Amino acid sequence: MGAVIVHKNVVNAFEKGTRNLMHSFTYAGNPIACAGASAVLKYIVDKDLISRSEKTGKIFLEKLKDGLGDLEIVSDIRGIGLLIGIEFSKDKERGEPFESDFNVCGKVTKYCFEHNLIVASGISGTVDGIKGDALQLSPPFVIEEEDMDFAVATLRDAILDVINSIK
């Protein structure tokens, strides 16, 4: 399921032209997809997963800070709910980013994947559009503490592997 929200300036541009803002897909309006989406939304509400993600996210964030915060290239760990970011810098105190071709996130992601943890590929260019590395974590609503512990341990090993490759 999806939606498109546009600024009034975009709407104004269409009103001066064809007056149509078309956005559709071949599967749009599929009754089975709509029923599935409706069931998912009902489950999220019935199981109170939004407030659960807020509580669980706080626990996960603390575990990440405790488990990774001392590592010399981890410059920041922040998040809201279960959407969490880990920022990497070659100089933690000054926040100096790695050169873009060093690809910290790519190395961390690859290590994690090889050790049974799937993380998003990370974001490059977070400092100036070219330099800067941040890893995004967005686990499922239903993550359990043992999964968090596994993720923290694997991420720690991955980051230590990157640190060792620098030395």
Question: Per-residue pLDDT tens for 2-11?
Answer: 777 778 887 7
Q: Domains of the chain, with CATH numbers?
A: 8-46 (no CATH), 49-166 (3.90.1150.10)
| Separation in Å, CA 136 to CA 13, 88, 97, 164 | 35, 11, 17, 22
Enumerate the H helices of 17-137 as residue ranges. Answer: 31-46, 49-68, 104-114
Question: Which of 72-76, 94-98, 144-148 has the weakest average pLDDT?
Answer: 94-98
Question: Per-residue pLDDT tens for 128-165?
Answer: 878 889 999 999 988 999 999 999 999 999 999 999 99
pLDDT at residue 28, rounded to an integer? 72
DSSP state of 99: P
Question: Per-residue pLDDT tens for 12-61?
Answer: 877 776 666 666 666 677 888 889 999 999 999 999 999 999 999 999 99
Name the pTM for this structure: 0.79
Q: How far apart are CA 90 and CA 94, in angstroms?
A: 9
pLDDT at residue 78, rounded to an integer? 96
β 83-88/133-137 pair status: antiparallel
Whether 114 and 157 have beta carbons less than 8 Å apart is answered as: no
